[in-house]
Amino acid sequence: MDFSTWLKQYPVPLNPQQKEAVQTVNGPVLLLAVPGSGKTTVVVMRLGWMVQGCNIPPSSIVTITYTVSAVNDMKNRYASFFGKQAAEQMVFRTINGICARIIYQYGRIIHKPPYELISDDRIINQMIISIYQEIMHEYPNENEVKEIRTKITYIKNMMLCEQEINALNQDVTYDLSAIYHRYCTKLKNERCMDYDDQMVYALRILKTDPAMAKRVQQQFTYICVDEAQDTSRIQHEIIRLIASMNANLFMVGDEDQSIYEFRAAWPQALLDFSLTYPNGRVLLMEENFRSVPAVVNLADRFISANTDRHEKHMHAFRTKGNDVTFVQLKSRSRQIRHIISTVQESDEQTAVLFRNNENAIPLIDQLERKHIPYAMRNVDAVFFSHRIVNDVCTILRFLIDPSDVDAFVKVYYKLNLYLKKEEAMKIASSAKKTGKDIFTTAKSMKLQDYSVNGLKTLKETASMIHQKDAMTMLQIIFDTLGYRSYLQHAHLSDDKLYILQQIARYVKDVPSFLQRLDELADLIRTGKQDSDAKLILSTIHSSKGLEYDRVILLDCVDGVLPSVPQSQINPEHRDAVSLYQEERRLFYVAITRAKNRLILYDLAQSSFVAEVRPQKRVEEKKKSADDFPSFVKKLKKGRKIVHEEYGEGVITKKDSKTVIIRFGTMTKIFMIRFIYDKQLVHPV
């Protein structure tokens, strides 16, 4: 049967690039498919053509997808085209499913049972917690356990050597290398393995047992790999070995959509495809059927500036629609007000996408207060167990109750108290015995003057805890008490402060603030799913592969997305450049989720948004010198302003160089030229 005759049996319109991909069956092939280009349809149609048009036995074709749910989706799509019975004959697997089969078959050959797979996350988490306590002599928080698991997955999937594993210690506050090796030893001693070990052991079998490798190669003479840009280094190596006999490998992906480097995704394999497979072909699918032309053109222009990519250009199938809206806002906090007013004014399906789960917390807080229905996709609550959030809460609880000895011991060295450990322990021990508070106990002890002064400041802060609002107390903790300095010395970012401030903005006092944090943590851990809600909250990572009528990007600002703007990156630091390019891909994936409308917030410190709308920024720079006198004139006593960090305030005094602004019960002084150049203050 020729292809055109076969195609008439199925009412699937294919463009020339799609037809070429469906008919290219033999040899190594890399299909680069832009967002919304009908990738899954092409994969399914190609499988059908292989079986019906090329008479290839379905059992000799394996289609590898990223997750179990993707396996089921692909199988169901195949069944919808070619029938349920035909789908049952096809082999759809995750890479772990293939590896599990290799391990099982090998065990039968050598008459040894394979290690037991630990599939329960709770068991692995408890194992890591126990090992962490043994090595670090303290209890890890939820965030650290999650991070360690991610790092372990990264090590195994990237096949890191000992030197590379040790290098990862530089990015964390615990001994990752020691934890990793003890974890691996414990698994081995208990004859167990995790999901990543399945790939490690399967690769070892394929490399060391030629007969077993040949058996697998003969079983799967055709291999199709979906989402190839999300495949890790070890997975690519396993696939390469299986395909090495017959060389019939079909990889579908797009390095422009590779956003899982932290999970060891290895898009370099796509860039090196022609080196790995010299006789291979690289095909393109560049037509986007999803989005309006304005979104497609903007996205293509943006991603084309990346250097680590194949040359390709996305173009729109749709001919109408130019709805990309740039909303200029004076402060980051105003995004939430705009989102709420936007969703209240329309019943259109809207997805608010953000980089990290914590970015959604202030929005969730306001949605709950205003009783606006919404659904969350995979939002977790690790923010509330983060060490900085725990520290802030512990400091506040100690300020409320200075007799809380345990709280004092946890945070004394993180504040400007200048106490030696033995002095702090002596104060704590005595306070516990006598039942007196920390300040009364410390007063009876001989301490250095600077320690006395530090404790005096802490006591004065405690005395105002019930008079000051939560926003003011947060600022005092970070600046007056020196917690920000501690973070700087520990090489930790103070970015959690913004989230805490946004929650504090809408409570009356510190106890209410602490209570609200607990309420939000419980709410997010429970996971809210309103199936009828038109508003969806999702990280960009969780939205990949999905599409929405209207998309709003939240917190697309320098320091969040991108984490570091290009102007601050040394082009000779390859790792930093690579991370920056992945963040550009993250922005690209986010904006290409939009079908009909895209809303971007045009904030002062948003280099990605400025790049897709460069003309406006050029015009602003041209007139900046002329604007300064106008800006100064607006700074009048009694004038309301919005500060990028402190929020709304009122000017109380101004001279030729400085301005004093009151934010609630807190007063700050600023250099006028500095706040103008940095665009920190916006007169209302």
> For residue range 157-174, what is the model confidence (pLDDT) as tens digits?
999 999 999 999 988 889
Q: Cα(485)–Cα(304) distance, rounded to whole angstroms?
A: 40
What proportions of the chain, in percent to the nearest 5, are helix, strand and coil? 55, 15, 30
Lowest-pLDDT range of 223-237, 239-253, 520-534: 520-534
Q: Cα(335)–Cα(320) distance, rounded to whole angstroms?
A: 28
Surface-to-core class of residue 572, CB atoms within 10 Å of its CB (0-12 exposed, 13-18 middle, 19+ buried): exposed
The answer to whether residue 666 scores a pLDDT higher than 80 is: no
Q: Position of tokens 């001919």?
A: 319
Which residue from 403, 413, 472 is spatially nearest to 441, judged by alpha carbons?
A: 403
How far CA 494 is from CA of 479, 485, 487, 664, in Å, comes to 11, 10, 7, 22
Question: Which residues, in sequence order, are bridge partners of residue 497?
Answer: none
Per-residue DSSP letters for 18-66?
HHHHHH--SS-EEEEE-TTS-HHHHHHHHHHHHHHTS---GGGEEEEES
Query: Above pLDDT 70, what percent of the chain?
Result: 97
Average pLDDT, the chain: 92
Rg of the chain over Cα atoms, rounded to whole angstroms, equals 29
Q: Cα(415)–Cα(447) distance, rounded to whole angstroms?
A: 16
**324 secondary structure, DSSP code:** E
Q: Position of tokens 């003969």?
A: 218
Spatial CB neighbours of 45, under 8 Å, sequence gap ≥ 6: 10, 12, 14, 18, 22, 81
**232 secondary structure, DSSP code:** B
Helix spans in 435-509 (H): 438-443, 449-463, 470-475, 483-489, 496-504
**Strands 91-94 and 640-643, how do they pair?**
unpaired
The answer to whether residue 617 scores a pLDDT higher than 50 is: no
The answer to whether residue 522 scores a pLDDT higher than 80 is: yes
Q: Confidence band (pLDDT; 50, 70, 90) for 622?
A: very low
Spatial CB neighbours of 241, under 8 Å, sequence gap ≥ 6: 203, 206, 207, 213, 217
Which residue from 433, 422, 431 is spatially nearest to 398, judged by alpha carbons?
A: 431
Q: What is the pTM of this model?
A: 0.86
pLDDT of residue 626: 55
Greater confidence, 621 or 297? 297
Query: Above pLDDT 90, what percent of the chain?
Result: 80
